[in-house]
């Protein structure tokens, strides 16, 4: 049995209604428990629980420090390619967006990694769109192998694969896999994914299990907030994490909290989640799962990230670029457009593609980031808040 069958039998719609109608007494009762059920979590993300946010924040803060210490782990995304065969309405890399694309060579990827290493990072997330012609499994394996000696922790956020295709990537040195379900609402999922293999909701939902079977020992999951009702998404990701904790127990599970950001294609969010909702969700997730890592990316503003950190965040990206070559300009001589899988060279001298002075490369990013501070500035702020920035997430040598 996979999470798909469990997910299909969950009473999610009634739980969302229960959450929206919860009374203060129900919130108090859930807060009094040491172990929470999905129904308790529904109470903690309810409008009524917003009145308890301060109390929840204090408990979440203490619990996080007890379980994780006063540390925040830092990681950097390294975008390998912005080619993609899928059309996802909310993503700048969508197949039909006429953007500037590139796939980094091994040497170019190493230049980007060197730059991130010089900034202090030792925990890398390799990101790529899904395009087997440009981002083959062998290419990914070679990238991981080239990084393995220097990077104690390499995770992947790439198109989902079969278990057998994941195994060589684990053998090459990848230890973590991040896969956002985007939305757990099947109807909205089918409306948002109009072309490409990503249309298969169940295949994506089972990805963390296939990755675990292949040997990945860190699994990151999340919805993308801004597509379906945020309470529905939060209840779904909690059920998903709970399943993974029970069935993939050798892996560390992390939950991210991404909200939609502006991107090429100019998609507008379908639903709204306020900053206060996000803070309430961080606290509720921590109370639900004392030991699960919570990740906050540069999608959120510096001010909000600084405020959310003490509530329960354990991992952050910093100084991020969401375009391939964004740290060093690597690959910028090869920028092109891709039409039906074929590279189309840019007309030389076209002013539309003139270099932009504030950016290393003109390749198009996946989305605009909100926290534009450098990695050093974020680390400094973490210290000022009384935490230790940790640049490494995992050391294979310690568990060998």
Residue 160 in the binding site for ligand SF4 (CB under 6 A): no
Among 85-93, 211-219, 272-280, 349-357, which window interacts with ligand SF4 (CB under 6 A)?
A: 85-93
Question: How is 56-111 classified by DSSP, letter by letter?
Answer: HHHHHHHHHHHHH-SEEEEEEEEEEE---S-EETT-TT-TTS---B-B--HHHHHH
Query: How many other β-carbons are positioned within 10 Å of the β-carbon of residue 47?
Result: 14
Size of the site for ligand SF4 (CB under 6 A): 9
* Binder of ligand SF4 out of 26, 76, 78, 88 (CB under 6 A): 88
Q: How far is the CB of 22 from ligand SF4 (least distance, A)?
A: 33
Binding mask 102-131 for ligand SF4 (x = CB under 6 A): ---------------------------xx-
Q: Which is nearer to ligand SF4, 93 or 327 (CB)?
A: 93
Closest by CA to 93, choosing from 103, 83, 102, 78, is 83
Q: Which stretch in 80-88, 235-243, 273-281, 317-325 sits in contact with ligand SF4 by CB under 6 A? A: 80-88
Output b/e per residue, 52-71; b: 16+ Cβ within 10 A.
Answer: bbeebbebbbebbeeebeee
Should residue 12 be labelled a site residue for ligand SF4 when binding is judged by CB under 6 A? Answer: no
The token pair at 7 is: 């997910």
Q: How many CB atoms lie within 10 A of CB 395?
A: 12
Angstrom distance (rounded) from CA 97 to CA 357: 23
Cβ atoms 220, 176 nearer than 8 A: yes
The correct pick among 3, 75, 93, 267 for binding ligand SF4 (CB under 6 A) is 93
Span 188-247, contacts to ligand SF4 by CB under 6 A: 198
Shortest spacing between CB 157 and ligand SF4, in angstroms: 9
Q: Pick from 19, 30, 86, 123: which binds ligand SF4 (CB under 6 A)?
A: 86
| Alpha carbons within 13 A on the beta-carbon side of 381 | 20
Which residues lie near ligand SF4 (CB under 6 A)? 84, 86, 88, 91, 93-94, 129-130, 198
């Amino acid at each position: 049995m996979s999470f798909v069958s469990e997910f299909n039998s969950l009473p999610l719609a009634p739980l969302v209604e229960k959450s929206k109608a919860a009374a203060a007494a129900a919130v108090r009762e859930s807060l009094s428990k040491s172990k929470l059920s999905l129904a308790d979590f529904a109470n903690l993300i309810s409008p009524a629980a917003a009145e308890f946010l301060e109390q929840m924040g204090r408990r979440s803060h203490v619990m996080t420090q007890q379980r994780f210490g006063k540390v925040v782990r830092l990681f950097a995304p390294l975008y390998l390619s912005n080619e993609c065969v899928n059309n996802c309405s909310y993503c700048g890399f969508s197949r039909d967006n006429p953007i500037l694309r590139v796939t980094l060579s091994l040497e170019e990827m190493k230049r980007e990694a060197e730059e991130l290493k010089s900034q202090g990072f030792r925990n890398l997330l390799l990101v790529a769109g899904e395009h087997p012609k440009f981002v083959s499994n062998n290419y990914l394996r070679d990238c991981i192998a080239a990084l393995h000696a220097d990077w104690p922790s390499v995770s992947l956020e790439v198109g989902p694969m079969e278990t057998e295709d994941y195994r060589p990537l684990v053998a090459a040195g990848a230890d973590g896999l991040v896969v956002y379900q985007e939305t757990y609402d099947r109807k909205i999922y089918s409306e948002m994914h109009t072309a490409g293999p990503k249309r298969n909701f169940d295949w994506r939902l089972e990805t963390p299990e296939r990755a675990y079977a292949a040997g990945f020992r860190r699994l990151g999951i999340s919805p993308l907030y801004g597509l379906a009702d945020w309470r529905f998404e939060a209840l779904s990701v909690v059920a998903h994490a709970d399943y993974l904790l029970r069935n993939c127990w050798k892996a560390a599970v992390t939950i991210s909290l991404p909200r939609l950001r502006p991107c090429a294609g100019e998609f507008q969010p379908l639903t709204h989640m306020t900053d206060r909702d996000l803070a309430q969700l961080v606290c509720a997730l921590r109370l639900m799962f004392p030991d699960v890592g919570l990740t906050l990316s540069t999608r959120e503003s510096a001010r909000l990230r600084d405020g959310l950190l003490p509530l329960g965040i354990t991992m952050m990206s910093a100084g991020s670029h969401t375009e391939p070559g964004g740290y060093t300009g690597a690959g910028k001589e090869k920028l092109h457009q891709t039409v039906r899988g074929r590279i189309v060279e840019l007309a030389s001298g076209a002013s539309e593609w003139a270099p932009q002075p504030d950016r290393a490369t003109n390749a198009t990013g996946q989305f605009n980031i909100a926290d534009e501070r450098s990695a050093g500035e974020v680390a400094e702020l973490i210290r000022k808040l009384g935490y230790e920035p940790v640049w490494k997430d995992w050391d294979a040598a310690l568990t060998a």
